[in-house]
Amino acid sequence: MTESIRLYTAQTYLSSFSKLSVPSFSSVLSDTYTHTYAPSSLVETLNREGYPDKSAFLDHIRSIARLMTGFPVTPIQMIEDEKQNAVWAWTKSKTEWKREVIDEDNEWDYKGEYVFMFWLDESGTKIEKCVEMLDSWATRERLLILSAKARENIKRRTGEEFDWLNKV
């Protein structure tokens, strides 16, 4: 059986995390793309509900790429809904930190689970909307803490400072 274009598009999006490839993400996002985080209990911790447009989301990917060489997201199960022109993906992920952001003081291993819900355009080749259900505990108790430490290490080593996940 041939894979549907919707599943192919969703898999392209997910595989783009492995190298944090802005061109790869951009190729499957519609010009009207929006990205929403859930659940609401974690959204408050993130201080961000998501990204209102394609440009803001791609800036977020560029920001992550300053800390990581990749953030591989691997599908565990994917479900396609032809009527809603949608795909749901239950996934697992891990971080691949850049050498210059890690130190010996922390355990840098991070693994999480996420659910991505994608709604696509009529052609099935562009994602118009994504709702990303974050791994609440792992994000709050590991990923955000490690990311903050990585930013501190960059600042200490280079003097460079940047905001990540601050409201724009």
Instruction: Say whether domain 5-154 belongs to CATH 3.10.450.50.
Output: yes
Out of 40-44, 108-112, 116-120, 131-135, which region has the weakest mean confidence (pLDDT)?
Answer: 40-44
End-to-end CA distance of the chain: 45
10-52 pLDDT tens trace = 999 999 999 999 999 999 999 999 999 988 877 777 767 889 9
If we measure between CA atoms, which residue out of 105, 106, 95, 107 comes closest to residue 68? 95
Output the pLDDT for position 167: 39
Which of 1-15, 43-57, 102-116, 120-134 is the most confident on average? 120-134
Segments making up each domain of the chain, as ranges: 5-154
* CB neighbours of residue 112 within 10 Å: 19
CA–CA dist 57, 66 (Å, integer)? 15
DSSP string, 61-89: HHHHHTTEEE--EEEEEEEEETTTTEEEE
What is the percent of the chain where pLDDT is above 90? 61
CA distances (Å), origin 76, targets 91, 119, 139, 165: 5, 19, 19, 27
Note the pTM of the prediction, 2 decimals: 0.89
